[in-house]
Amino acid sequence: MRILILGGDGYLGWPTVMHFAARRHEVLAVDNYLRRTIAQQTRSEALMANPNLNTRAELFAAASGHDIQVEIGDCADFRFLEDIVARFSPEAIIHYAEQPSAPYSMMGFAEAQRTLNNNLNATFNVIWAVLTRAPQCHIVKLGTMGEYGTPNIDIEEGWIQIEHKGRKDKFLYPRQAGSLYHTTKVLDTDLLWFYVRTYGIRVTDLMQGPVYGLSTEGADLDDRLLPNFHYDDIFGTLVNRFLVQAVAGIPLTVYGKGGQVRGYLNLKDTLQCVTLAVEKPAASGELRILNQFTELFSVNQLAERVQHVGSQMGFDAQVRAIENPRKEKEEHYYNPVHQGLLELGLQPHYMTDEVLAKMLAQVARYKDRIDSAKIMPRVRWAVPAKAASASGAKD
């Protein structure tokens, strides 16, 4: 198949690009390096150096024999994206090209505006490029489990039947996100649903939990093919921060009570899930929503897991609760359904002690590059004194 991967330089995008190329699909990767730009502006650079997309494509071709096409450009620019879709004529588009940091989206006006404009324009342009240039193309969009928030009822897979005053109907499951970034994903889903039910495009919206891991078949070929690994408070996920803290001998920082539960998955399972979605596409006029995670952990459970495996490897990892910079429930009910991808054939890779040990060993090889000043929270869920934040980021 011809597969267009938007955000192909990113943490998920780059391994996805290698994965589909290795499966002998024709792959075109697009990125505008927004992630690298913001990381530099906020002093949140990745732990390992990642060569640029063109260089990585060349390294991968040399190591594997599989070609990857690359275009550098902005998906929020409709003419650019429309032209790519017209020329490449994709059968599937995997859309990762968004600003994915919740803390960044909460820094101030400029960062919030950039997140809103970038994410909604990119999704809107993908929809219109498909409508006008490739109407049969299947859009596989990365959403997030964070769209649902933490409601005090079971979370269904995208949809809910509601009975009201004796009548019934099916609706998108209610969503109440906890950051502006997550809210842009809610708005994306609404846009996609509007165009699916009105113009009959085909869409899979993957409600993904936080992803962890560095190892994939492609990345294991050469350290220069590793996905980006951020451990700071802006781009670093909880698991990455804990791994780096354990290796650096800094206490693992739990935000508040640590009872926040989320659904996690291994990077290898993200690759499986998008492959299943692409190779078993949604029908025309269908918005297929799948909850994409394999295991639930609370923040405290993850801290204990990393501490336990770390101590077996000789790392002195302490755990320390700090004031929560976010507005979120620190203890709550959480019971999301996640049957759809298992029914499509997903075979989960769980977070075993071996998996944690392998990640800790990988981080330890780069221990001298850890900058401990990047780890503590710099962003609070509060209106900054001035609308423009101190980061100097501009749109």
Ligand X SMILES: NC(=O)c1ccc[n+]([C@@H]2O[C@H](COP(=O)([O-])OP(=O)(O)OC[C@H]3O[C@@H](n4cnc5c(N)ncnc54)[C@H](O)[C@@H]3O)[C@@H](O)[C@H]2O)c1
Coil/strand/helix, residue 329: coil
Written as one letter, the residue type at 356 is L
Residue from 90, 100, 103, 263 that binds ligand X (CB under 6 A)? 100
Residue from 45, 98, 147, 269 that binds ligand X (CB under 6 A)? 98
| Bridging pattern class, strands 26-31 and 69-72 | parallel
Of 259, 344, 351, whose CA–CA distance to 300 is shortest?
259
Residue 244 C-beta: closest distance to ligand X, Å: 16
Residue from 2, 23, 26, 33 that binds ligand X (CB under 6 A)? 33
Residue 125 C-beta: closest distance to ligand X, Å: 9
Coil/strand/helix, residue 254: strand
Q: 45 vs 74, which CB is nearer to ligand X?
A: 74
Q: 31 vs 315, which CB is nearer to ligand X?
A: 31
Of 188, 181, 156, whose CA–CA distance to 171 is shortest?
156
Residue 117 C-beta: closest distance to ligand X, Å: 9
Structure tokens at 149: 């928030």
Size of the site for ligand X (CB under 6 A): 29
Annotate each residue in 317-356 with x if it binds ligand X (CB under 6 A) or - if it does not, as one string. Answer: ----------------------------------------
Q: 20 vs 96, which CB is nearer to ligand X?
A: 96
Q: 12 vs 244, which CB is nearer to ligand X?
A: 12
Q: Which residues between 231 and 270 bind ligand X (CB under 6 A)? A: 237
Q: 122 vs 303, which CB is nearer to ligand X?
A: 122
CA distance 333 to 149: 11
Q: Which residues are catalytic, by number?
A: 144, 181, 185
Q: 103 vs 315, which CB is nearer to ligand X?
A: 103
User: Cα separations (Å) of 146 from 178, 182, 199, 222, 378?
Assistant: 7, 6, 27, 33, 21
Of 241, 214, 245, 208, whose CA–CA distance to 227 is shortest?
214
Q: Which stretch binds ligand X (CB under 6 A): 19-27, 71-79, 239-247, 329-337?
A: 71-79
CA distance 98 to 100: 6
Q: What DSSP element (H or E) covers 272?
A: helix 267-279
Residues with Cβ within 8 Å of 323's Cβ and at least 6 positions away in sequence, in order, are 255, 256
Residue from 68, 97, 246, 282 that binds ligand X (CB under 6 A)? 97
Q: With left for phi above 0 and alpha for psi between -120 and 50, is residue 58 left, alpha or beta?
A: alpha
Residue 17 C-beta: closest distance to ligand X, Å: 11
Q: Does 111 participate in binding ligand X (rule CB under 6 A)?
A: no
Q: Are 173 and 148 in contact (CB under 8 A)?
A: yes
Q: Does 74 participate in binding ligand X (rule CB under 6 A)?
A: yes
Residue 29 C-beta: closest distance to ligand X, Å: 10
CA distance 393 to 395: 7
Q: 269 vs 389, which CB is nearer to ligand X?
A: 269
Q: Does 122 participate in binding ligand X (rule CB under 6 A)?
A: yes
Residue 353 C-beta: closest distance to ligand X, Å: 21
Q: Does 96 participate in binding ligand X (rule CB under 6 A)?
A: yes
Residues with Cβ within 8 Å of 99's Cβ and at least 6 positions away in sequence, in order, are 34, 35, 38, 105, 114, 115, 118, 119, 181, 184
Residue 188 C-beta: closest distance to ligand X, Å: 9
Q: Which stretch binds ligand X (CB under 6 A): 11-19, 127-135, 326-334, 363-371?
A: 11-19
Q: What angle do CA 266, 267, 273 make, to 5 degrees?
A: 90
Q: Which stretch binds ligand X (CB under 6 A): 155-163, 208-216, 294-302, 353-361?
A: 208-216
Sites of contact with ligand X (CB under 6 A):
7, 9-13, 30-35, 74-76, 96-100, 118, 122, 142, 144, 208, 210-211, 228, 237
